[in-house]
Amino acid sequence: MSAKPSNWIVETGQIWKLYVAVAGFTGTLLCFTLGIFSLSTGGGRFLALIACGLFLGCATFLWFTMVLRCPHCANKLVWTMVSSRPHSSWVVDLAALECCPACGGRLDRLS
């Protein structure tokens, strides 16, 4: 019984990127929520908050796509998974990856 590493994102020290992405998407939801609530108080800030949320969501997603890469071939793993898996399971599949779908290299080892 060997202690199995939790997953490659942790092993390669990239888990903070996941946290930043979660924080960004949380902020996006917060903007949308505040925007919807602002409708009940006159809606003066509705468009600004929705635009802010959209920008934050897009920026977070693009950044996350760009930074989470295979340590061997620099494949954009998020993009690869988003475009090849169902929307409901790509995050789970991404976290559970053992080998890079592009080059086949072990993701939990840097060499």
Residue 100 beta carbon to Zn ion: minimum distance, rounded to whole angstroms: 3
**Helix, strand, or coil here: 69?**
strand
Which residue in the set 56, 70, 81, 97 belongs to the binding site for Zn ion (CB under 5 A)?
70
* Calpha distance 77→12 (Å, rounded): 14
Among residues 11 and 30, whose Cβ is nearest to Zn ion?
11
* Calpha distance 101→74 (Å, rounded): 11
First to last CA, the chain: 24
Kindly state the number of chain residues that form the binding site for Zn ion, as judged by CB under 5 A: 8
Among residues 56 and 68, whose Cβ is nearest to Zn ion?
68
Looking only at residues 25 through 54 of this chain, which bind Zn ion when binding is defined by CB under 5 A? Answer: none
* Amino acid making up residue 3: A
Which two structure tokens, joined as six digits, stand for 8?
């490659």
Among residues 52 and 97, whose Cβ is nearest to Zn ion?
97
- Residue numbers at the binding site for Zn ion (CB under 5 A): 70, 72-73, 75, 100, 102-103, 105
